[in-house]
């Protein structure tokens, strides 16, 4: 063994780890560059941005943009509106996905596989296709310029992905567990809430994070369904924040960063589940 | 009164009929073992009794009540699964008390009964652990604990020992036998493909084959008077030998060149199949049946002899005392115990059973 460690046999150079690292590093830089640009502009005055180039290091840390964002009552309203839409829609779509997924995974019926495919097919419709009909529908119901359409559309559009994920996860929970619980006297609801769901927390956390992020960051639906500033959500609000004659890059940058904080926090909180949830089912145990 | 009654039970999955009409009465306090090769329908039968599987036709009664269409939780029975089916996110104590908690039993009462059960099954030290921290045998005991705590009328066991290694299996077998003795009035229905488990545990064995019951009887009845070659071949290890023979008269059968006198007369005539268990063959100088010793399996206390005879293609197995000294290739004289010879109609023996 001593011979081996003394380097008697020259180790062949393996190029793969280096290549993979380089590629990943370049990708990370590409992904982070816009964020860094936004971060830089958020700590400069509008004048400095207009004079210098975007990527220059600021002469001094200017926090006025952040102060302006935090003191702007419209921003408070945007945040509140986004929360009012995102939390219930995340909850509703996940809950419906859990119920539908459980039915498809554990209580199959005649034609359930076909129905499952139909539900999943919903994922592949581009939203633009249903945009005009939905606008007319909600308009006729008098719901335009309220938060209701955004909540309803996100709940509905979330069902396919939620159902798919939860069904596939529930399918990995052994049937014997359900049967054991039933023989112990549990009804289907108790099987779900006391046995299957507690075992599915990682999947649930992943799904809730994805849904939350997607709904929080959405731009299209709030743009279409809301008109007045009082009903705007945060992503539409960022655009609205520009002044009448000037584009307030600094303020917009500050708000952009603040707006992405909730999703980042949610991800950080659930990230232990994320890794677990994504590899779940790959190996037993 | 019978505790569990099965009347003409049938079950089909699509066009495939897996249970083809089963009638059975199980008495209170009885330990009944369903045994049979894989795919014979024994597990399906158990799942139908539990209610986890619907019946296609027939009637299931428990305690005089027709439960054919009653939900599993209202049948007052408990089941121990092959995979244990413990809830991984709950502790041992929570697993055992799961059913009581669902039935809204007061907490103090649950704790008291969990401790009682844990004491019976020697699980006291493990109550705070989760299933993944337990060994196979401990998991199985927790699964049993979960089923006995509710004092159900009927216990169902679905191959509970088949995931355990051989040594532990023997130990758990004893524990289950002891448990049945302790819980006197409790009916147990136990599914296994292991005939040793069936023989040692059962008050009565039900032998299943291809969706039908071949024979019902006590272990010794099945061993001594099997109704047909299937049962004869299934009960007893190593399996019974089947040899072609010919009836000369009601009490005389010819095997190769040898004529055996039977103690009882047989209604069969002409070509028959003679069945003899390995333990009823003796190597003796006075024996008239000649056989060549191909292979020996020395098990210590006893030795299994694998032999060929000139009058049959099928190999013959004999079980002799471990002290007997023989060499492979040797020609032996064998003596069949006439009291232990079984005569079956030749057509009854299917090739698979003699293998």
ipTM here = 0.83
Share of chain A above pLDDT 90, in %: 54
Contact B102 A184 (CB under 8 A): yes
Check residue A11 and give its pLDDT.
76
Range scoring the smallest mean pLDDT among A51-60, A151-160, A276-285:
A276-285
| Alpha-carbon distance A181 to nearest alpha carbon in chain B (angstroms) | 8
In chain B, what residues touch A285 (CB-CB under 8 Å)?
A: 132
- Please determine, looking at this structure, whether the domain spanning A67-283 carries the CATH number 3.20.20.80: no
Contact B81 A176 (CB under 8 A): yes
pLDDT of A1 > 50? The answer is: no
| Alpha-carbon distance A197 to nearest alpha carbon in chain B (angstroms) | 10
Q: pLDDT grade, residue A60 (50/70/90)? A: confident
Q: pLDDT grade, residue A245 (50/70/90)? A: low
Number of cross-chain residue pairs from A and B with Cβ atoms under 8 Å apart: 54
- Closest C-alpha among B171, B145, B11 to residue B78: B145
pLDDT of B1 > 60? The answer is: no
Tell me which residue in A182, A190, A199 faces B88 most closely, judged by beta carbons. A199
Check residue B351 and give its pLDDT.
44
In chain A, what residues touch B73 (CB-CB under 8 Å)?
A: 182-187
pLDDT of B354 > 50? The answer is: no
Quick count: other Cβ atoms within 10 Å of Cβ B315? 15
- The pair of three-digit structure tokens given for residue A198, joined into one six-digit string: 């507690």
Chain-centroid distance of CA B208 in Å reads: 9
- Pick the residue of B88, B94, B133 with the most A CBs within 10 A to test the interface with A by mutation: B88
What domains, with CATH codes, occur in chain B? Answer: 2-230 (3.40.50.300), 239-354 (2.40.50.140)
B44 touches A: beta carbon within 8 Å: no
Check residue A284 and give its pLDDT.
39
Instruction: Report d(CA B324, CA B283) in Å as an integer.
Output: 9
In chain A, what residues touch B50 (CB-CB under 8 Å)?
A: 183
- Closest C-alpha among B37, B61, B63, B47 to residue B11: B47
Tokens 């005389």, located at residue? B252
Instruction: Report d(CA B206, CA B4) in Å as an integer.
Output: 14
Check residue A81 and give its pLDDT.
93
Instruction: Tell me which of A2 and A203 has the higher pLDDT.
Output: A203
The structural domains of chain A, with segments of one domain joined by +, span: 9-65, 67-283
- Going by the DSSP 8-state scheme, the letter that residue A9 receives in this structure is S
φ/ψ of A155, rounded to 5, equals: -60, -50
In chain B, what residues touch A176 (CB-CB under 8 Å)?
A: 81-83, 85
| Alpha-carbon distance B59 to nearest alpha carbon in chain A (angstroms) | 20
Strands B270-276 and B342-345: antiparallel
- B331 three-class SS: strand
Instruction: Report d(CA B159, CA B157) in Å as an integer.
Output: 6
Do residues B317 and B305 lie in contact, with contact meaning Cβ atoms separated by under 8 Å? yes
List helix spans (H) across chain A: 2-5, 16-42, 46-51, 64-71, 73-106, 112-121, 127-140, 148-171, 175-183, 188-190, 197-199, 201-217, 220-225, 234-240, 249-279
In chain A, what residues touch B72 (CB-CB under 8 Å)?
A: 179, 182-183
Tell me which residue in B50, B82, B89 faces A183 most closely, judged by beta carbons. B50
Do residues A92 and A155 lie in contact, with contact meaning Cβ atoms separated by under 8 Å? yes
- Going by the DSSP 8-state scheme, the letter that residue A184 receives in this structure is T
In chain B, the DSSP E strands lie at: 2-13, 16-27, 31-35, 57-62, 65-66, 77-80, 154-158, 187-192, 204-209, 212-217, 241-249, 252-255, 258-261, 270-276, 281-283, 289-298, 302-309, 312-321, 331-336, 342-345
Check residue A135 and give its pLDDT.
93
Contact B73 A199 (CB under 8 A): no
Chain-centroid distance of CA A121 in Å reads: 20
- Once rounded to an integer, what is the mean pLDDT over residues A104-131? 91
Instruction: Report d(CA B273, CA B232) in Å as an integer.
Output: 12
B89 touches A: beta carbon within 8 Å: yes
Q: pLDDT tens across A141-200, in order? A: 999 999 999 999 999 999 999 999 999 999 999 999 999 999 999 999 999 999 999 998
pLDDT of A285 > 50? The answer is: no
Asked whether the bond before B238 is cis by omega within 30 degrees of 0, the reply is yes
Share of chain B above pLDDT 90, in %: 55
Range scoring the smallest mean pLDDT among A142-146, A247-251, B9-13, B211-215:
A247-251
């Amino acid at each position: 063994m001593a011979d081996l460690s003394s380097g008697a046999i020259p180790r062949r150079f393996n190029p793969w780890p280096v290549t993979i690292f380089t590629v990943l590093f370049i990708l990370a830089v590409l992904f982070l560059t816009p964020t860094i640009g936004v971060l830089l502009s958020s700590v400069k005055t509008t004048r400095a941005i207009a004079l210098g180039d975007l990527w220059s290091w600021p002469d001094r840390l200017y926090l006025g943009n952040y102060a302006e964002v935090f003191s702007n009552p419209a921003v408070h309203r945007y945040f509140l509106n986004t929360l009012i839409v995102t939390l219930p829609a995340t909850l509703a779509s996940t809950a419906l996905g859990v119920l539908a997924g459980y039915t498809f995974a554990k209580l199959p019926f005649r034609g359930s596989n076909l129905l499952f495919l139909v539900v999943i097919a919903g994922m592949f419709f581009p939203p633009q296709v249903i945009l005009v009909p939905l606008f007319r529908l909600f308009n006729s119901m008098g719901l335009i310029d309220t938060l209701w359409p955004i909540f309803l559309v996100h709940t509905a559009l979330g069902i396919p992905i939620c159902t798919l994920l939860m069904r596939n996860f529930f399918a990995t929970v052994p049937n014997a567990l359900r049967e054991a619980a039933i023989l112990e006297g549990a009804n289907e609801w108790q099987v779900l809430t006391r046995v299957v769901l507690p075992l599915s927390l990682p999947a649930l956390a992943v799904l809730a994070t994805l849904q939350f992020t997607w709904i929080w960051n959405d731009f299209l639906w709030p743009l279409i369904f809301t008109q007045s500033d009082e009903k705007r959500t945060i992503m539409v609000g960022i655009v609205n924040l520009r002044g009448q004659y000037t584009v307030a890059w600094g303020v917009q940058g500050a708000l952009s960063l603040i707006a992405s904080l909730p999703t980042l926090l949610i991800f950080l909180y659930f990230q232990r589940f994320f890794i677990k949830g994504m590899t779940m089912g790959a190996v037993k145990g | 009164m019978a505790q569990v009654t099965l009347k003409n039970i049938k079950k089909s999955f699509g066009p495939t009929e897996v249970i083809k009409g089963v009638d059975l009465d199980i008495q209170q306090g009885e330990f009944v073992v369903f045994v049979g090769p894989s795919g014979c329908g024994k597990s399906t039968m158990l799942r139908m009794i539990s209610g986890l599987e619907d019946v296609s036709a027939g009637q299931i009664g428990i305690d005089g009540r027709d439960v054919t269409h009653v939900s599993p939780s209202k049948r007052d029975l408990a089941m121990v699964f092959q995979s244990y089916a413990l809830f991984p996110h709950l502790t041992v104590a929570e697993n055992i008390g799961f059913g009581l908690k669902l039935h809204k039993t007061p907490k103090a009462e649950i704790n008291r009964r969990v401790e009682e059960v844990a004491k019976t099954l020697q699980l006291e030290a493990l109550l705070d652990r989760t299933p993944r921290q337990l060994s196979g045998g401990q998991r199985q005991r927790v699964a049993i604990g979960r089923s006995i705590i509710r004092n159900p009328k009927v216990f169902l066991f679905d191959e509970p020992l088949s995931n355990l290694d051989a040594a532990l299996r023997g130990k758990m077998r004893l524990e289950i036998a002891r448990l049945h003795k302790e819980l006197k009035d409790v009916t147990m229905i136990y599914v296994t493909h292991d005939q040793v488990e069936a023989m040692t545990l059962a008050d009565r064995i039900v032998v299943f084959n291809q969706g039908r019951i071949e024979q019902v009887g006590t272990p010794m009845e099945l061993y001594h008077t099997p109704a047909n070659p299937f049962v004869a071949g299934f009960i007893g290890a190593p399996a019974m030998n089947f040899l072609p023979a010919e009836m000369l008269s009601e009490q005389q059968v010819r095997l190769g060149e040898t004529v055996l006198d039977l103690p009882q007369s047989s209604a069969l005539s002409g070509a028959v199949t003679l069945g003899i268990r390995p333990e009823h063959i003796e190597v003796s100088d006075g024996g008239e049946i000649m056989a060549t010793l191909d292979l020996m399996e020395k098990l210590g206390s006893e030795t299994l002899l694998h032999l060929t005879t000139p009058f049959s293609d099928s190999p013959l197995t004999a079980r002799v005392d471990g002290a007997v000294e023989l060499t492979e290739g040797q020609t032996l004289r064998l003596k069949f115990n006439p009291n232990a010879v079984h005569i079956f109609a030749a057509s009854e023996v299917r090739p698979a059973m003699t293998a």
